[in-house]
Amino acid sequence: MNRKHIYIALGLIALLIKLYFEFRIELIPGINGGYYPVQTRSILENGTLALVDMPVVFYLNALIIKLISWFSTGYDMNHQILVTSKVLGSIFIPLILVPLYFISKQIIHNSRSRFYEYVIIALSVFSFAPLVLGADYMKNALGLLVLSSFIYFFMLYMKTRQLKHLILAVVLLFITFIHFGTFTVSLLFFTLGLLITFRRKAIIPVIVVVIVSILCIALMDSSRAVRIFFWWKKLGVPYSLANYPQEILNLIFTWLIVAIGGHTLKLHYKEIPAISRKQMLLLLGFIAILGFPFYEFGVRLRFGLMLFIPQTIILLFIYPYVNKLLKTSIPVVVLILIGMSLALNLSQPKQAAISQEAYADLENLASKIENPSNTIIFARHGFEWWVAWDLKTKIANSHLKVDEEIIAKYENVLFLSQKTGVNDLYPGKSKVFLDPIIPENSELVYSSEYYNLYKYVP
Q: What is the DSSP string of 122-189?
A: HHHHHSHHHHH-SGGGHHHHHHHHHHHHHHHHHHHHHHH--HHHHHHHHHHHHHGGGSHHHHHHHHHH
Angle 39-43-44 from CA coordinates, rounded to 5°? 115
The Cα–Cα gap between 127 and 342 comes to 7
> Residue 216's pLDDT is what?
77
- Residues 155-167 pLDDT 10s: 999 999 999 999 9
pLDDT tier at 236, thresholds 50, 70, 90: low
On the question of pLDDT at 52 being above 90, the answer is no
Q: How far is Cα 222 from Cα 228, in angstroms, rounded to an integer?
A: 10
| pLDDT tens-place string over residues 166-221 | 999 999 998 988 888 898 899 999 999 999 999 888 888 888 888 888 887 777 76
Q: How far apart are CA 167 and CA 163, in angstroms?
A: 6
Specify the pLDDT at position 431.
45
SS3 7: helix
Q: Report the pLDDT value the prediction gives residue 240, as an integer from 0 to 100.
A: 64
Task: State the pLDDT at residue 300.
Answer: 86
Task: Flag whether pLDDT at 427 surpasses 60.
Answer: no
pLDDT of 430 strictly over 90: no
As a whole number, mean pLDDT of residues 115-137 equals 95
What pLDDT, on the 0 to 100 scale, is given for residue 238? 66
User: Between the CA of residue 278 and those of 52, 164, 167, 291, what are the distances in Å?
Assistant: 39, 20, 20, 20
Strand partners, 30: 352
Give residue 55's pLDDT band: very low, low, confident or very high (50, 70, 90). Answer: confident
Share of the chain above pLDDT 70, in %: 93
What pLDDT is attached to residue 232? 64
Of 21, 33, 30, 20, nearest to 390 by C-alpha is 33
Confidence grade of residue 268 (pLDDT, cut at 50, 70, 90): very high
65 pLDDT above the threshold of 90: yes
Query: What is the C-alpha to C-alpha distance for residues 38 and 51, in angstroms, rounded to an integer?
Result: 9
Query: What is the pTM for the complete model shown?
Result: 0.91
What is the spatial distance between Cα 117 and Cα 334, in angstroms, rounded to a whole number?
11
pLDDT at 395: 92
Task: Give the single-character DSSP code of 322.
Answer: S
Mean pLDDT of 88-106: 95
Model pLDDT, residue 429: 47
SS3 label, residue 323: coil
Q: What is the mean pLDDT of residues 3-27?
A: 95
Of 227-236, 287-296, 313-322, 325-334, minimum mean pLDDT range: 227-236
Residues 356, 361, 367, 369, CA torsion sign: negative
Cα angle: 134, vertex 135, 136; to 5 degrees: 90
Domain ranges of the chain: 109-347, 356-456
Higher pLDDT pick, 85 / 400? 85
